A and B are shown apart, each in its own frame.
Chain A
Amino acid sequence: EAQVTQNPRYLITVTGKKLTVTCSQNMNHEYMSWYRQDPGLGLRQIYYSMNVEVTDKGDVPEGYKVSRKEKRNFPLILESPSPNQTSLYFCASSHRSGRGINEQFFGPGTRLTVL
């Protein structure tokens, strides 16, 4: 089954404790992206990756890191989480189209709470 998986689905942590949220897709997609969703703000893009070893900032990259060492994986790293990073996080992937953005397939989400 074609899908985007995220782990963990739920995470409660404390300020300053480094964490990683994993994202994996099995559709051989070149493009992957991370979003955060907050009430009243919709989805905001954190980082995206056009292909292996190619990443770029989205609209709200502060406090986050990503890496793309393999095509299928795109982990999101919070080196020193703070309470304002409490949010619902979505990973997404799509084929890269030379003509522009393409439809994205979303993972189920990771609900993160930072105390």
Chain B
Amino acid sequence: ETGVTQTPRHLVMGMTNKKSLKCEQHLGHNAMYWYKQSAKKPLELMFVYSLEERVENNSVPSRFSPECPNSSHLFLHLHTLQPEDSALYLCASSQDVSDTIYFGEGSWLTVV
């Protein structure tokens, strides 16, 4: 139990669907992150939120839309995805953006 909970753990969606990934952290941290892990590629940072403000967006396509309503919750809204977007999406949090990062168990996304 890492204190970072992601739901759903597995998601299969069509290219025309709209779905969301949810992340909740119970650690009292102020920063939250979305990472993408694809087969045979290094972990890719997608978004960083600090105190609910987006502070980093690493050239992620607009079909991925993050939302951070408060410091404990982070969403990743998905729409019109492509098959190459199939991956493990990891949420993480840290006390602040310079501190050690703690990961959730990930959401496996398959786009068909």
A is bound by B = no
